[in-house]
A and B are shown apart, each in its own frame.
Chain A
Amino acid sequence: MFTVTMVFFYAPLVVLIVFSFNNSKTMHWEGLSLRWYHELFFNSRDLWNAFGNSVLIALTSASLSTVLGTLGAIGIYWYNFRFKKYVQIASFLPLILPEIIIGVSLLILFAAIGLKLGLLTIFIAHVTFNLPYVLLIVSSRLDEFDHSIIEAAYDLGAREIDALLRVIVPVSMPGIIAGFLVSITLSLEDFVITFFVAGPGASTLPLHIYSMIRFGVSPVINALSVVLIAGSIILAFSTQGIYKYIFQK
Chain B
Amino acid sequence: MRKNYGPVYALPSALWISAFFVVPISIIFMYSFLEKGLYGGVVWKFSLEAYRALSNCAFLKVSLMTVVLSVLATLITLALALPAAYFIARSRYKNTLLFLVIIPFWTNFLIRIYAWIAILGNSGFLNNFLLRLGITHGYTQFLYNPFAVIIVLVYTYLPFALLPLYSTIEKFDFSLLEAARDLGATNSQAIFRVLLPNIKTGIFTAVLFTFIPAFGQYAVPQLVGGRNSFMLGTIIARELTVTRNWPLSSSISVALTVLTTAGVLVFLRINNNLGGKTKAEHAASTRLHLQIKQHDA
CB-CB < 8 A to B6: which residues of A?
Answer: 75-76, 78-81, 84
Chain A residue with the shortest CB-CB distance to B239: A104
Q: How far is the CA of A189 from the CA of B219 in the complex (A)?
A: 13
- Stretch from A31-39, A41-49, A88-96, A171-179 at the B interface: A88-96
Q: How many residues of B contact A (CB 8 A)?
A: 79
Check A105 against B118 for contact (C-beta < 8 Å).
no
CB-CB < 8 A to A109: which residues of B?
Answer: 20, 23-24, 27
Q: Which of A19, A83, A98, A210 meets B14, CB within 8 Å?
A: A83
Asked whether A68 is an interface residue with its Cβ less than 8 Å from the other chain, the reply is yes
Chain A residue with the shortest CB-CB distance to B263: A96
CB-CB < 8 A to A91: which residues of B?
Answer: 13, 17
| Per-residue interface assignment for chain A, residues 45 to 80, with 1 indicating a CB less than 8 Å from any chain B CB and 0 otherwise | 000000000000000000000001101101110111
Asked whether B5 is an interface residue with its Cβ less than 8 Å from the other chain, the reply is yes
Given A79-B4, A98-B212, A210–B110 Cβ distance below 8 Å?
yes
Check A98 against B83 for contact (C-beta < 8 Å).
no
Check B9 against A98 for contact (C-beta < 8 Å).
no
Check B22 against A209 for contact (C-beta < 8 Å).
no
Q: Which of A13, A101, A228 meets B253, CB within 8 Å?
A: A101
Q: How far is the CA of A55 from the CA of B87 in the complex (A)?
A: 38
Min Cβ gap A164→B in Å is: 9
CB-CB < 8 A to A9: which residues of B?
Answer: 100-101, 104, 158
Check A79 against B5 for contact (C-beta < 8 Å).
yes
Q: Which of A19, A93, A191 meets B21, CB within 8 Å?
A: A93
Check B124 against A135 for contact (C-beta < 8 Å).
no
Q: Tell me the dominant secondary structure on chain A's binding face.
A: helix
Tell me which residues from 85 to 124 in chain A have a Cβ below 8 Å from any Cβ of chain B: 86-87, 90-91, 93-94, 96-102, 104-109, 111-112, 124
| Per-residue interface assignment for chain A, residues 210 to 249, with 1 indicating a CB less than 8 Å from any chain B CB and 0 otherwise | 1001101100011011001100110010000000000000
Tell me which residues from 150 to 196 in chain B have a Cβ below 8 Å from any Cβ of chain A: 155, 158
Check A135 against B13 for contact (C-beta < 8 Å).
yes
Tell me which residues from 2 to 48 in chain B have a Cβ below 8 Å from any Cβ of chain A: 2-14, 16-18, 20-25, 27-28, 31, 41
Give the 3 A-B residue pairs with the shortest CB-CB distance, closest first: A98-B216, A79-B6, A75-B9
